[in-house]
Amino acid sequence: MKLTMHNYRNENDYWRIRQFLWDVMIANGLRQLSWPVMRLDYWRFFGMINNHPFATLPEIIFLWETPDGQLAAVLNPEDPGSVFMQVHPAFKTKELEEEMITTTEEHLSVTRNGRQKLSLWADSQDAMRQDILNARGFIRGKWTESQWRRDLDKPIPDVPVAVGYTIRSLGDESELPARSWASWRGFHPNEPDEKYEGWEWYRNIQRCPLYRRDLDLLAAASDGTIAAISTFWFDDYTRTVYIEPVATVPEHQRKGLARAVITEGLRRVQRLGALRAFVGGYEPGPDALYSSTLSPECDRSDSWVKEW
């Protein structure tokens, strides 16, 4: 079937892509061979606004459609030069993959030190895409996303909470500065405090369609300080949940807080009807936590890079 490519046009396309990602997730048996909807939301409402406001959506999102208007594939970066291909399995062909990669090379690379650079992500079992990338001069990059998962059909075991800490939901707006500060300390432990840019970004997190404050969990120390955080995104359409982010403030690390917060979140989403939980890790420390807290089962998505 002949597919037609066009740039992202308007808000309506955004919501069509969400529906497309739901369909793809279900068609793929609840595996992350394309993005979960939550990741698109997080990228759009947070990443594109607060983290990497590097372009407009029409400039960097490309859609492939059937003659009757059904979405077959979507191409988008997450960060500049780091690109993801979302493909419905019913339409996955060598020709489509090549066309998408060509579009990536033409429109989504970045220039650094006078050279074009590009990173494309491929599932570790996706031989078709890997062969195409190899043939076009891509090589395996250094990053791999381990997509840990856990089916929620069994009881979630108890995990003791370290003495002096309480696991609870995030409070109202008055607690956003503290929540934001915990993120800063958890993800930027070696950066000077002067670089901290405030907490207003957190309002954009709360704008995401799947956000629920009762699934935005934290561990609070006895003095009220937020010591660890973990936000759960329950997608009632696919009955999956995605955990993003997970962090512990350095002074409170190695007390099992992240494990306790994740475990509480798993219990809550299990009660809501979630069937499967996902979390992504890129480094040995988080991977060890996730594999032991969720399960050793995971898919792996590898970066493939090209410079020219």
Partner 1 sequence: MKPVQRNYRDENDYWRVRQFLREVFLFNDRREHSWHVARWDYFYWHLFKNCQVCRSMEEVVSIWETADGRIAAVMNPIDPNEAFIHIHPAFRTPELEEEIIIHAEQTFSNIRQDGLRRLYIPVDEDDQFRKDILRRLGYAGIGHPGYEHYRDLDAPLPDAPTPPGYTIRSMGGLDEYPARSWASWTAFHPNEPDESYEGWDWYANIQSAPLYRRDLDIVAAADDRQIASFCTIYYDDATRSAVCVLDGTAAPHQRRGLGKALLCEGMRRLERMGCTRLFAKATDPAADALYGSVMNVREISETWIKDYKS
By CB atoms closer than 10 A (0-12, 13-18, 19+), residue 218 is buried
φ and ψ at 118, to 5 degrees? -155, 140
- By beta-carbon proximity to partner 1, the closer residue of 3 and 226 is 226
H or E segment at 54?
none
- By beta-carbon proximity to partner 1, the closer residue of 208 and 258 is 208
By CB atoms closer than 10 A (0-12, 13-18, 19+), residue 177 is middle
- Range list of H helices, the chain: 11-27, 37-42, 57-60, 94-107, 127-135, 176-187, 201-207, 257-272, 284-293
- Binding residue (CB under 8 A) for partner 1 from 54, 272, 286, 291: 272
Residues 162, 2: Cα–Cα separation, whole Å? 58
Interactions with partner 1, residue window 169-188 (CB under 8 A): 169, 171-172
Residue 48's closest CA among 36, 37, 60? 60
Q: With CB under 8 A as the rule, give the number of residues binding partner 1.
A: 26
Q: Least distance to partner 1 from the beta carbon of 61, Å?
A: 16
Interactions with partner 1, residue window 31-90 (CB under 8 A): none
Interactions with partner 1, residue window 13-42 (CB under 8 A): 14-15, 18-19, 22
Residues 133, 101: Cα–Cα separation, whole Å? 8
Q: Least distance to partner 1 from the beta carbon of 110, Å?
A: 30
Q: Least distance to partner 1 from the beta carbon of 14, Å?
A: 8
Q: Least distance to partner 1 from the beta carbon of 239, Å?
A: 7
Using rule CB under 8 A, residue 200 touches partner 1: no
Chain residues binding partner 1 by CB under 8 A are 11, 14-15, 18-19, 22, 168-169, 171-172, 206-214, 234, 236-237, 239, 271-273
